[in-house]
Amino acid sequence: KLYVALTFDYEDLHLNDNGTANMPEILKILEKHNATATFFVLGKTAKLHEDVIKELKARGYSIGVHTYFHNMPVFNKRDALLIDKIYHVNNTWEKSFKNSQAFLADLQRCLNETELMPMFRSPCLAVNWISNREEYFETLEKAGIIIDSSLYQEDKPFYYVGKVIEVPVTMSEDYFNFGYFKCKKIAKSCIDKNLPLVIVMHPQKLSLRNFERFLDFLEANYNVTYIRIEEVPIIYAQ
């Protein structure tokens, strides 16, 4: 059996942004494949698109936190420069919280002003490159975050960092462009190692055609069960 966790980082800071453009089509594809999903939503997006959030809840999808304005949990300039280099940008420090107190306040705002679940994904998966990872998880714990899904897979379906459960990420939507050989290799590895296939996607960047073709491919070749992020620790604890 292949457990697949479809996750979307839902980012739309302005009503005229394209961050919500593909959402109706994505929901149709999920319904067609009888697939559940998890959405990590900006606090601002949750306020702007309350109707979409209500629909996601009505469909039984889980909805976690992705910061309020897509700021990075980066607390020093050295880490910011490294992320600049990785993503070929030059403004990571400007978009960073700069200290854990600001990060904590942002998390608390998201949880207090919205009905998002106490689950978190770091913008740009920035936590993979920061030197203050311990402080990052301590801040999540202080905010009451129960599950984080921001670190890359290290052959564990989930593990604890303090009191926070980490559900690692397996692949992103970019892999859809590499052909089925690469996707097949990743799926087989998950089955062999008894790991969930946790996929990170962004509605505004997603090729709907490639997304549905990928789901068709998985379902044609594996015994697929779609799950939400919070179900991973339950399934793999057995």
Binned average pLDDT, 10 residues per bin, the chain of 238 residues: 96 70 92 98 92 94 97 96 95 96 98 95 96 97 98 96 97 83 88 96 90 93 97 93
Single-letter amino acid code for the residue at 187: A
SS3 content of the chain, % helix, strand, coil (to 5): 45, 15, 35
Whole-model pTM: value is: 0.95
Q: Report the candidate in 49, 33, 51 with the shortest Cα–Cα distance to residue 41.
A: 49
According to DSSP H, which parts of 59-179 are helical? 77-87, 100-113, 133-143
- pLDDT for the residue 177: 77
Measured CA distances, 168 to 14, 150, 189, 191, 233 (Å): 30, 6, 14, 15, 11
Which residues does 98 contact at the CB level (< 8 Å), separation at least 6?
A: 74, 75
- pLDDT for the residue 12: 85
